[in-house]
Amino acid sequence: MKGISWVWLGTAAGCIALLAVGAPLNMSLYQMALPFALGLAILHAAALGLTAARPLAGVLVSLIPMIVLPLVSDPVGAAPMPFSVVAIITQVLVICVAGLRAYWMVPAAAWLASVIIGVSLNYVTMPHGQSEGAQNNVVIFAAVSGGLMVAAVVAQQWQHMRTELAAERTVSAEEQSRRRLAEERTRIARELHDVVAHGMSVVVVQATTASYRHPGLSEELKKEFDDIAANSRRAMTEMRSMLGSLRNADAGRQLGPQPTLEDLPQLLASARSAGVNIPEPTLSGVEREDISEVIALTAYRIVQEALSNVIRHAPGATVNVDFTVSGGNLRVQVVNSSSDVGALMAQLDKGAHVGQGLIGMRERAAIVGGSVTCIPTLDGGFSVSALLPLGASKSAAGKSGTTSNNNEGRAQA
């Protein structure tokens, strides 16, 4: 913006200088009447400024003074003809500016028209014979203006090439960035598969065959191993979904069914089997049919992550899960009490890696226009409160389908 301002300021200064010199010169050296002297100088200087904004219109306007000036002048002595020096300089600048601002045919036409006008005026204004000075002026004007016109056109084309090259470099850089991102996603998917899939498969096989390998197991232990196998299969299914999303960023939402609030009982039962005391959740004003699929999925994942944190950091604690619909929003609250075992594990867990579960919950809620608040309670427990708008748009739903898959591993951390 600053560069453009300086260009216009320079153009305006040049027009004022040409007008200040051209008008007195027309009156004193070419003995023009004041209206013609001042009017033609103003018109020619204004044409230069107009060419900077509207090249074709400026060129057409500049030809008018070039035609009229020799017809209304009566040069004193050896004054340059058929054009004055100021008129020649102004017209050369007009052609150069047109060469920098317009397609090459516009400055070429301006140059050709100016030369034709100069040659023609030699015969019209001097019918009894052309002076050598007038002929030389036309030749010099044609040579100088023609050379500068070619230079201006070349400069414009060079600038266009630089702009196009910069644009191509930007596109190439973006394509390379996308390619590297795709390669990185594929690498992450491959490493996750190599590291996690084999171990999870072993867990599933061992849990499934435990009752056959150890015939003396009690029914309670058999049920425990069955739950381990079921949870492991569910984790592997979700991991495969995440790996599919990493391998194909444009895959969109998965074809397989996503968990909803209808799957909460199974999730709570799994948490209870891990030693967490969870009373039946309260549903205040909640109508399942009013909750969209994406909101239900988001609420399920938030509860899932909150329970995972309780199992990890506060085993044996009591967890209250509440759902409330108010003001067009679904409020999900997961509040756990303190746990002596959890306090001990928290001390042992110091220095371990920082999980990304809370960040993942906030990202999921932000996708649908909601928010998540995580704060410790006064009794030493922890509270996770999510506010999700029931009127989330379909665009948010589509975005959630892709982004939630990309964040799956982070939300499970």
User: What one-character-per-residue DSSP string does 2-30 give?
Assistant: HHHHHHHHHHHHHHHHHHHHHHHHHHHTS
Q: What DSSP assignment string belongs to 100-117?
A: HHS-THHHHHHHHHHHHH
Identify which of 69, 118, 64, 59 has the alpha carbon closest to the alpha carbon of residue 93.
59
Q: Is the pLDDT of residue 285 over 60?
A: yes
Question: Which among 229, 305, 236 is positioned nearest to 271, based on CA atoms?
Answer: 305
How confident is the model at residue 248, as a pLDDT?
54
* pLDDT of 3 over the 70 cut: no
Is the confidence at residue 35, as pLDDT, over 80? yes
Domain definitions of the chain by residue range: 1-251, 259-413
| pLDDT of 21 over the 90 cut | no
pTM (whole model) above 0.85: no
Greater confidence, 34 or 387?
387
Q: What is the mean pLDDT of the chain?
A: 77
Averaged pLDDT for residues 362-377 = 87
Helix (H, G, I), strand (E, B) or coil at 412: coil
Among 102-111, 238-247, 272-281, which stretch is predicted with the lowest mean pLDDT? 238-247
Lowest average pLDDT, out of 37-41, 151-155, 311-315, goes to 311-315
Question: Among the listed ranges 7-16, 21-30, 334-343, which one has the minimum average pLDDT value?
Answer: 334-343
Q: Residue 74: name the closest of 27, 42, 116 by CA.
A: 27
Give 114's strand partners.
none
Higher-confidence position of 81 and 215: 215
CATH topology of domain 259-413: Heat Shock Protein 90 (3.30.565)
Per DSSP, the residues of 197-239 read IHHHHHHHHHHHHHHHH-TT--HHHHHHHHHHHHHHHHHHHHH
- Give per-residue pLDDT as tens, 378-395: 888 899 999 999 875 444
**Out of 246-255, 264-273, 328-337, 366-375, which region has the weakest mean confidence (pLDDT)?**
246-255
Residue 61: the pLDDT is 92
Higher pLDDT: 393 or 227? It is 227
Question: What's the pLDDT tens digit per position in 313-368?
Answer: 787 889 999 999 888 889 999 999 886 544 434 433 444 344 456 777 888 888 88
Q: What pLDDT, on the 0 to 100 scale, is given for residue 195?
A: 58
Percent of the chain residues past pLDDT 70, beyond the cut: 76
pLDDT of residue 309: 84
C-alpha span between 237 and 259 (Å, rounded): 12
What is the pLDDT at residue 372?
93
Q: How far is CA 60 from CA 7, 91, 164, 352, in A?
A: 22, 11, 30, 78
Least confident of 77-86, 118-127, 360-369: 118-127
Residue 288: is its pLDDT beyond 50? yes
Cα dihedral 243, 245, 249, 250 sign: positive
- pLDDT computed for residue 350 by the predictor: 42
What mean pLDDT do residues 293-319 have? Answer: 85
Among 100-114, 244-258, 282-296, 376-390, which is the least confidently predicted range? Answer: 244-258
pLDDT at 188: 63
